[in-house]
Structure 1
Amino acid sequence: MDADEIDWNRTLREQWEFHWKHQLRARLEGLTDDEYFWSPVPDAWSVRPRGSSTAPVQLGAGDFAMDYASPQPVPSAFTTIAWRLGHVLVGVLAARNAGDFGAPAASYETWEYAGSAATALDQLETQFDIWLAGVGGLGDAGLRAPIGEKEPFPEMPMAELVLHIHRELIHHLSEVCLLRDLYLHTKPATNGATR
């Protein structure tokens, strides 16, 4: 097949959809609140009830806030599944959905972080749906158009941002899966689930 005949929009969407449907979705099913909040090391950053954090900064709106610091500590803080899902939800998806596809404005400071695993996974599904619909609506011309001033490299084509977001999703959600595996093998008596 000639490269000019490839439907690049479909190909980019399928890159993420395949990974989600065949690798990640099943791995995230049944995520418990214990896993969501579990900290395998002391002082890990997480999403916590507002006012209960010892981190220098608490980000977000609502009853739960995300631990943070600026500048970042060295070495970087270890983060829980809750924190990693919060990062994916806001920094990877929701802010881009708002900036590129007309979704409601979203930032780490204004996001209402989930107080349960089920709520976080529902938020994730919603943001995935918005992202894929937005990418699907770009068409060839939209993929070739410059990203614009809302991103650090405004002259790059939108296809570059799509690839970047997909890499971020695969990377961070694979970390979540690894933490689930660690939880399962560290706390087998409290988790009867098998994966």
Structure 2
Amino acid sequence: MKDLRPERLRLMLDQFDRAREMAEVRLTGLGDDEYLWEPVPGCWSVRPRAQARTPCAFGPGEWLLDREVPDIPGSEYQEVARQAESGMSVEKIAQDWSVSVERVREVLRHTGPVEPDVAPLTTIAWRLGHLHVQFEGGWEWTFGERRRDPRLMVDFTPDAFLAVARFRASVDRWRAAAESVTDEQLDTVGFSRYPYASDADERYVDVLWGVNLELIHHMAEIALLRDLWRARR
């Protein structure tokens, strides 16, 4: 049967499917201790509400996902510059990054090398929860009602089996919806209006590229943590 999907969509989703197949292998057999393992002090993870360590930890239930006060990391300075060069206002960039206008101006004034980011190490639970929020929010703000806050859509859990099952269901729903995107929608700016990124100012084909990047790089991090867990003794 002839594949009637737009060629760009086929390429994006084929890459996504291949990355997901690899991710499924690396998630097999994940246990609770490994899922919550903190290899160094100061890790971000999922925690009971009463034990939250970070000022902006979020979630709708008893368990929250660690989150610090929003900032623009050094690794994203070039992306902010691209946003400004594309005509996006400083105010809109600040809104997208949840930072002040002055912080955006500081980034745009920066010259020379960027200092490496000093970010906390995150557990498998945190990385999987972070991805889960993005897929739940990506579906809601593209194919859903565009109403619910993505940070309140995922009920985080210390149960690795349950977390993986919920994540798979979320990815399945997003993937099934993405299959039907038309060529015109791929070029539509704001087809996705995910509130915690620049989706509303980008063509959906560029948003899809970002979804693939997120899945690939976070699952690679999870895979490495699993290797370290296995070799820790």
* Shift in alpha-carbon separation, 1:141–1:121, aligned structure 2, 3 A: same
Shifted more, 152-161 versus 76-85: the winner is: 152-161
Q: Deviations over 1:85-121 (max 9, x none)?
A: 111010x211111100117834224531122111111
- 2:27 partner amino acid: L
In structure 2, which of residues 147, 150, 155 is the aligned counterpart of residue 112 of structure 1? 155
* Shift in alpha-carbon separation, 1:68–1:137, aligned structure 2, 3 A: same
> 1:79 Cα shift?
0.8
> 1:62 Cα shift?
1.1
- Please state if 1:157 is matched with 2:208: no
Aligned to 1:44: 43
Instruction: Give the paired residue count.
Output: 181
Structure 1: stretches of 5+ with no match in the other structure: 188-195
- Please state if 1:8 is matched with 2:51: no
* Shift in alpha-carbon separation, 1:93–1:83, aligned structure 2, 3 A: same
Normalization by structure 1: what TM-score? 0.83
* Shift in alpha-carbon separation, 1:162–1:52, aligned structure 2, 3 A: same
Decide whether the 8 Å contact of 1:147 with 1:161 is kept in 2.
no
Decide whether the 8 Å contact of 1:148 with 1:155 is kept in 2.
no
Structure 2: stretches of 5+ with no match in the other structure: 74-116
Measure the CA separation in 1 of the matches of 2:67 and 2:202: 30
* Shift in alpha-carbon separation, 1:49–1:154, aligned structure 2, 3 A: closer
* Shift in alpha-carbon separation, 1:157–1:118, aligned structure 2, 3 A: same
> 1:71 Cα shift?
4.3
> 1:65 Cα shift?
0.9
Decide whether the 8 Å contact of 1:94 with 1:106 is kept in 2.
no
Decide whether the 8 Å contact of 1:46 with 1:83 is kept in 2.
yes
Q: Residue 82 of structure 1 aligns to a residue in which SS?
A: helix
Aligned to 1:17: 17
Decide whether the 8 Å contact of 2:19 with 2:215 is kept in 1.
no
C-alpha RMSD over aligned residues: 2.3
Q: Deviations over 1:61-94 (max 9, x none)?
A: 112111122146972221111111111010x211
* Shift in alpha-carbon separation, 1:134–1:110, aligned structure 2, 3 A: closer
Normalization by structure 2: what TM-score? 0.70
- Please state if 1:176 is matched with 2:222: yes
Q: Residue 113 of structure 1 aligns to a residue in which SS?
A: coil
Measure the CA separation in 2 of the matches of 1:99 and 1:130: 13
- 1:152 partner amino acid: S
- Please state if 1:121 is matched with 2:164: yes
